[in-house]
Chains A and B, each alone.
Chain A
Amino acid sequence: MRNFGYTVARTPADAVRTAAGIANSTFVAGGTDLLNLMRDGAETHDHLVDLNRLDLDDVTLDGQTLRIGALARMRGVAEHPRVRREFPVLSEALLASASPQVRNMASIGGNLSQRTRCGYFRDPGSACNKRDPGSGCPAVTGRNRGHAILGGGDHCIATHPSDLAVALTALDATVRLLGPDGARSVPIADFYLLPGTTPDRETAARPGELITRVDVPRTRVAADSRYLKLRDRATFEFAVVSVAAALRTRGRVVRDVRLAFGGIGTRPWRDTRVEAALLGRPLTEAAIGEAGRVLVRDADPRTENGFKVELVQRALASVLNELGGKR
């Protein structure tokens, strides 16, 4: 790993100010993704601003909003009694992520900021439009079994690796940012960007902005939610396909439904047309099948990832049937 300078920040404002004052600096919290990126040379930084002393690790439920501090650790949020009871999809997504050791270390802000697992991105010997804009995307015609079938293009088809981001996308979370120009909020649906012709720009966060908190609205449907993650091995693995789902029915009729998907899109994938296909209709095999077809209508599979088109529809059916009480 190339050497770098290091500063411990005492307050969020101090962190932002310090980072703004040092060229090519970045923030570090758990370090579980950043240190590997720096070892591999996928990212180089001359200075790290350590966030671990910041008072941003509270998880609170006040009124109608769950507020998750950016420095809360994955384990703490996953085990929080009210998160487990009222937002089970968040707890399940976190517990399906990484390993127990990493969940003790990794922060919520860092989890949302982690970089794609695309092997070409992680290998500085390969071209990559994310890492080196304009150099090309070998994944489009190369090894792309793990890549996106939605939201991509010829510039990039990498998926976002965070399970938590998928669950937060289903629940309409808001990301709170603090930067040199002050604080602002970005709905998570706008936080992650489609790659378009600038896949190096992954989020709406501006240079030097720090995630301070994630707000999740408390809704009845969030309490009836779950996360289904399909992997190449039973555990400690990234998603091939995942579904974050929340569902409320009366009788068999769908009264409220939220769906987001991992492993299939270039960002945590939400398509409200899929939800519209279910809303107000009985939760029948036909309705679920139609919702699945809407989801993959614009799919653009590549040489190795075509299996995801059917897999994600089956995953959707499985999780809806389970939440709907069919099994």
Chain B
Amino acid sequence: MTDEPAPESSAHTRRTVLKSTAAAAAGTVVASHHTSVASAETAHTGGARTRVTLSVNGERHRIAIEPRVTLLDALRDRLGLTGTKKGCDRGECGACTVLADGERIKSCLTLAVMRQGAEITTVEGLTRGDDLHPVQEAFIRHDAFQCGACTPGQIMSAVACIDEGHAGSEAEIREWMSGNLCRCAAYQNIVAAVADAAEEGRR
């Protein structure tokens, strides 16, 4: 069992700058929110932080969170696994797709407390050592992205789509990948990448 990862310390990368800015902004929002609902919160005992054990990419993490924290926010903000993206935060775009016990789900539509005991796989958990997953390789080969924001969700969804046996034709891939939107409209190459990875798996 590991605890939450220690914050990055050494290099001041673009990512760490963005992270600390986001944390500062989030702090402001949380503070004002607490003031505005203070009376309602004290009227009942609900909402207290609770200890939750999440199993992510083969590692167990024990964190204390409020019940309202989605699995997506727990992954990104508490475990530092920012590969899973937050797009619409309402189940429409699919950027937050992860696997729970091998099945693809939208992590913004489930609470972290509801996923205790489940084996979660995020895009960070697809590689084997330094080797990319065959679906990741296929996305690179086919240039199946432009801005990349939807890509982790597309890849997680594609892994499940192939595993389910729903990648037999272009039409079938389009139907079964429909829960993942790409605002750059790289669909042509995404479909080609999924078809290629599925074909590779059959060889």
Q: Report which A residues bind B (CB closer than 8 A).
A: 1-6, 23, 28, 30-32, 35-36, 39, 46-48, 50, 52, 75, 98-102, 104-105, 234-236
Contact B45 A5 (CB under 8 A): yes
Q: A5-B67, A235-B175 are in contact. Are A101 and B94 (CB under 8 A)?
A: yes
In angstroms, Cα B100 to Cα A125, docked, is 36
Is B140 on the interface with A (CB-CB < 8 A)? Answer: no
Contact A39 B44 (CB under 8 A): no
The interface residues of chain B lying within 8 Å CB-to-CB of A47 are 44, 46
13 example contacts (A-B, Cβ-Cβ < 8 A) are as follows: A3-B67, A4-B46, A4-B47, A5-B48, A6-B46, A6-B50, A36-B91, A36-B109, A52-B114, A99-B91, A101-B104, A105-B110, A234-B178
Contact A100 B161 (CB under 8 A): yes
Is B113 on the interface with A (CB-CB < 8 A)? Answer: yes
Residue of A whose beta carbon sits closest to that of B164: A100
Contact A101 B50 (CB under 8 A): no
**Cβ contacts B41-68/A at 8 Å (1 or 0 each):** 1001111101000000000000000111
In angstroms, Cα B175 to Cα A234, docked, is 8
Q: How far is the CB of A7 from chain B (nearest CB, A)?
A: 9
Q: How far is the CB of B122 from chain A (nearest CB, A)?
A: 14
Q: Report which B residues bind A (CB closer than 8 A).
A: 37, 40-41, 44-48, 50, 66-68, 70, 89-91, 94, 97, 100, 103-106, 108-111, 113-114, 157, 160-161, 164, 166, 174-176, 178-180
The interface residues of chain A lying within 8 Å CB-to-CB of B105 are 101, 104-105
Residue of A whose beta carbon sits closest to that of B116: A8
Residue of B whose beta carbon sits closest to that of A35: B109
In angstroms, Cα B65 to Cα A1, docked, is 14
Contact B47 A104 (CB under 8 A): no
Contact B67 A48 (CB under 8 A): yes
In angstroms, Cα B110 to Cα A30, docked, is 7
Q: How far is the CB of B159 from chain A (nearest CB, A)?
A: 12
8 tightest Cβ-Cβ pairs between the two chains A and B: A5-B46, A99-B179, A3-B47, A6-B67, A236-B178, A235-B178, A104-B103, A32-B109
Residue of A whose beta carbon sits closest to that of B175: A235
In angstroms, Cα B68 to Cα A6, docked, is 9
Contact B44 A5 (CB under 8 A): yes
In angstroms, Cα B161 to Cα A99, docked, is 12
Q: How far is the CB of A179 from chain B (nearest CB, A)?
A: 22
Contact A50 B94 (CB under 8 A): no
Contact A236 B179 (CB under 8 A): yes
15 other A-B residue contacts (CB within 8 Å) besides A4-B68, A5-B47: A3-B41, A4-B47, A5-B45, A5-B48, A30-B110, A31-B114, A32-B91, A46-B46, A48-B111, A50-B113, A99-B91, A100-B164, A100-B178, A102-B106, A234-B175
Q: How far is the CB of A290 from chain B (nearest CB, A)?
A: 35
